[in-house]
A and B are shown apart, each in its own frame.
Chain A
Amino acid sequence: MSSIFALIDCNNFFVSCERIFRPELNNKPVVVLSSNDGCVVSRSNEAKALGIPMGAPAFKYKPVFKSQGVVQFSANFELYGDISQRIVKALTRIIPKIEVYSVDESFLELSSLGIKDYTVWGQAVRYSILKSVGVPVAIGIAPSKTLAKVATERAKKNPNIDDVLDLQSLSPEARAPYLLQTPISDIWGVGWRIAPKLKAEGIYNALDLSYMRPKHAQSLMGIHGRQMVAELNGQSCLPLFIEGKQRQTIMHGRMFGEDTSNFAVIEAAIASLSARAAKQLRVDKLLAKRAVVYLSTNKHKPGYRKFSFAVNFLTPSNDSGVLSKELIKAARASFSAGIDIHRANVLFYDLASENGLQIDITGDVDLSQLFRSKARFEAVDSINERYGKSTIHLAAEDLSKVWQPKKELKSPSYTTEWHELPILKT
């Protein structure tokens, strides 16, 4: 039996989460800013209509926010994470096997459900999530995941479609107008690298791409391109991905509250970012073999500069102490004083599974050190879990004001902290 995919995609997810507990903000322009209020990461439809772009730097748009009465929130990731899990839980009651693709998107495979009318089914799911969790979703249904993604995009952008689009029941000819409306940059898997190449070939939308000869697509974009063309023609190449996929990279970054050239502050930032990345590695039972530190000045000020320092770890590690020490060493060696740093990122890559390490080792890995630090950090993580995130931290992790994210506009952790529950007046 051939597959039938549904993509459930939350509309303006972060904004929608905020609106659950602030119903008066329905129909008002609302934006959510990244965790230190740097740029816009989610916009309500009303905010989009005001011409506020995704990623807009908040300081540039403050006048617009003020004159148009745009309500701003700092990102409340505890809330968004919880709401995301609620939606996943609700969807797994429809069908247990789902692919959680991102915080606000999940794929379902429907062929076993014997659904007669996919639009009716989609509307029922949409209503149920809106009523029970409180978040509006768009749903696209199609014979491949790439087409389901196209359907969801069209359902969201086309005002004549009521948030649910069934491409499954349509003939290829009837699907064509929707593909025509989808610019190539909106197609799943077409990145900013490939898009110009395709445009150079005269391919501007999903319909053009679906007509591409598979061989030509492969020569241009590899096997991935060939699959994309097949998927747009309704042949499923990408199955539902149920098993947790091993992450390839871990990236953490923050903007400084104020630009700084003080290496002690930068060092503290690197330590703190490494500690968070290391925690994530330990949770996922992974070890990092390589890392890069990126430091950059303010993009919006003249003389924008970027620096990066690469590190190879002799012994793959998820030990905050080891990771941050090496990164700080590399940064200190090449950092030139007197430059105001705006942002720091750390990227860990070439990740190996803790369990797979025995196979990977080449003889220069000190296993006893590895297991000692593993035991130590399991203790640290469990204490931090119980008593709050930074009860125990490395000495270099600085908690000074400069470094703390600005969270002036953050909503309460309504669903994740006992002392921040929403108030019900009598």
Chain B
Amino acid sequence: MNNDFQPIIESDAVSVHSGFPNPAADRKLPALALDLNQLIVQHPSSTYLFRIAGHNWSDQGIFDGDIAVIDRGAIEGPNDLVVIWQNNDFKIARSKHLQPEEKPWGKVSAVIHQF
């Protein structure tokens, strides 16, 4: 990489360079801004999004129309929320309340509520 010789005039448009070079202009640097994916999606290949339907978990802060972020790869603890397949529907449940034969489909890693 050679930033010592910056062009004063480019061929197709006049562009005068001076002062401190903008580090963000160099595409090789990683993006500087925070990325919500980094916060919410730990494992992109095993993360699936679901739409919440129903009001039964409103007291837990999970509302109708919210988007649930489900990680199939994560290992769930007893207090974690999980997705189970029951009577031909995906349902939300607390891991410790599952019957031994009920295998969770994935773990709820976040719920996104948009206003």
Shortest B112–chain A CB gap in Å is 11
Question: CB-nearest residue of chain A relative to B52?
Answer: A424
Q: Which residues of B contact A89 (CB under 8 A)?
A: 44-45
Contacts A23-B85, A131-B73, A133-B72 hold; do A90 and B46 have CB atoms under 8 A apart? Answer: yes
Q: Which residues of B contact A131 (CB under 8 A)?
A: 46, 72-73
Stretch of B6-14, B24-32, B86-94 that contacts chain A: B86-94
Number of interface residues of A (CB under 8 A): 20
Instruction: Compute how far the CA of A140 lies from the CA of B48 in the bound complex, rounded to whole angstroms.
Output: 28
A residues 394-426 near B (Cβ < 8 Å) are 414-415, 421-426
Question: CB-nearest residue of chain B relative to A23?
Answer: B85
Question: CB-nearest residue of chain A relative to B44?
Answer: A89
Instruction: Compute how far the CA of A176 lies from the CA of B97 in the bound complex, rounded to whole angstroms.
Output: 52
- Whether the pair A426, B46 counts as a contact (CB closer than 8 A) is no
Q: Which residues of A contact B90 (CB under 8 A)?
A: 422-425
Q: Which residues of A contact B48 (CB under 8 A)?
A: 414-415, 422
Contacts A23-B85, A132-B73, A133-B72 hold; do A425 and B45 have CB atoms under 8 A apart? Answer: no
Q: Which residues of A contact B57 (CB under 8 A)?
A: 426
The 5 listed contacts between A and B (C-beta, < 8 Å) are A87-B45, A132-B45, A133-B46, A422-B90, A423-B89
Task: Tell me if A117 is interfacial: C-beta within 8 Å of chain B.
Answer: no
- Whether the pair A24, B72 counts as a contact (CB closer than 8 A) is no
Task: Tell me if A183 is interfacial: C-beta within 8 Å of chain B.
Answer: no
Number of interface residues of B (CB under 8 A): 29
Q: Which residues of B contact A90 (CB under 8 A)?
A: 45-46
Q: A residues within 8 Å of B by Cβ?
A: 23-24, 86-87, 89-90, 93, 128, 131-134, 414-415, 421-426
Residue among B44, B83, B105 making CB contact with A86, cutoff 8 Å: B44
Interface string of B65-99 (1 = CB under 8 A from A): 00110101100000000010100111110000000
Q: Which residues of A contact B44 (CB under 8 A)?
A: 86, 89
Q: Which residues of A contact B53 (CB under 8 A)?
A: 423-426
Interface string of B49-60 (1 = CB under 8 A from A): 111111111000
Question: CB-nearest residue of chain B relative to A130?
Answer: B72
Q: Which residues of B contact A421 (CB under 8 A)?
A: 49-51, 67
Question: CB-nearest residue of chain A relative to B87?
Answer: A24
Contacts A424-B90, A426-B91 hold; do A132 and B43 have CB atoms under 8 A apart? Answer: yes
Instruction: Find the residue from A86, A133, A426 having the highest chain B CB count within 10 A.
Output: A426
Across the A-B interface, give the 3 residue pairs with the lowest CB-CB distance, nearest first.
A132-B73, A132-B46, A426-B54
Question: CB-nearest residue of chain A relative to B111?
Answer: A424
Question: CB-nearest residue of chain B relative to A85?
Answer: B45
- Whether the pair B88, A24 counts as a contact (CB closer than 8 A) is yes
